[in-house]
Structure 1
Amino acid sequence: MFGLLNVGSLVLGLIALVLPVVNIFLKKNKSWMMFSIISISACAVSLSFQIFYTYHKVTIEDWSALNDTMYTTAYASAALLLITIILNVMTLVVYRGKTAS
C-alpha cells in the first residue's frame, strides 16, 4: 500500500506540470484559474505523499532505503515545486488583464 504513495506522487506531479502548459498553449481558456489552482494543489499533494512515504520508511527503520533515495527525492521535490511555480506564474502573465468570465 505504501508503494502506491510513490505512484500517486508521480501521477500528481505530472498533472501539476501538464495543467499550466495546457493553460499557456490554450490562450483563450476561460477556466485557466481553476487549472492553476488544481496544478498547485496537485503539486502540494504530490509532495505530501513523498513526506508520508519518507515517514513510513523511518517508522519501519529502513535506513538503507532512506540513505539511497533521499538525495534524489529532495532534488526532485524541489524541482517539481520550482517548475510548477514558474509555469503557473507564466500562466498568470499570459492571462494578465483577462477576466475569468
Structure 2
Amino acid sequence: MIDSGWLNIGSFVFGLIAWILPVGKLLRNNKQGNQKWFTFSVMSMSACAVSLCFQIIEIYYLVTIEDWSALSDTIGFVTFAATVLLIVTIILNTITLMVYRDKKQST
C-alpha cells in the first residue's frame, strides 16, 4: 500500500523546487542563461503541480482507508499550505517573467 509519509515528503520537496527554481534564476543574472528563463518557469510550475498532486493522492488515500480523524485533523492545514504554495509559485514566476521580458526588450 501507499506510505503516506513519502507522499508528504515528496510534496514538500517538490514545493521547495517550485520556489527555488525561479528564485535561483533571478539570483543568477547571466546573459547566457537569459533564454532559459521560460524553461525554469515551466519546471517550477510543473513541480508545484506534482506537489499538489501528491497532496491529492494523500487525501484520496486517507478517504480510501476511511481515516476520517486524520483527514479532519489535517485538511485545514493542507488547504492553507496548498494555497500558499500555488500563490507564491505564481508570484515568483510572474516576477521572473517581468524581469526577463524587460531584459529582452532592452537588448
Partner Cα distance (1:58, 1:66) in 2: 8
In 2, Cα distance between the equivalents of 1:55 and 1:65?
12
> What is aligned with 2:27?
25
**Any gaps of 5 or more consecutive residues in structure 1?**
none
Query: Aligned-residue CA RMSD in angstroms?
Result: 1.3
Q: Which residue of 2 aligns with 1:72?
A: 77
1:95 to 85, 92, 100: 100
Q: Is the 8 A contact 1:17 1:83 kept in 2?
A: yes
Count of equivalent residues:
99
Identity of aligned residues (%): 54
Give CA-to-partner distance per residue, 1:44-84, whole Å, 9 cap, x none.
01000000000000000001101110000000000000000
- TM-score, normalising length from structure 2? 0.87
Q: Which residue of 2 aligns with 1:16?
A: 18
Paired amino acid for 2:54? F
The range that moved more, 89-98 or 27-36, is: 27-36
Listed as ranges, the gaps of 5+ residues in structure 2 are: none
Shift of 1:3: 2.0
Equivalent position to 1:52, from 54, 57, 61? 57
**Which 10-residue stretch deviates more, 48-57 or 23-32?**
23-32
AA aligned to 2:65 is: I
4+ runs deviating over 3 angstroms: none
Normalising by structure 1, report the TM-score: 0.92
TM-fit CA distance, 1:26: 1.6
Q: Deviations over 1:23-54 (max 9, x none)?
A: 11123233211111100000001000000000
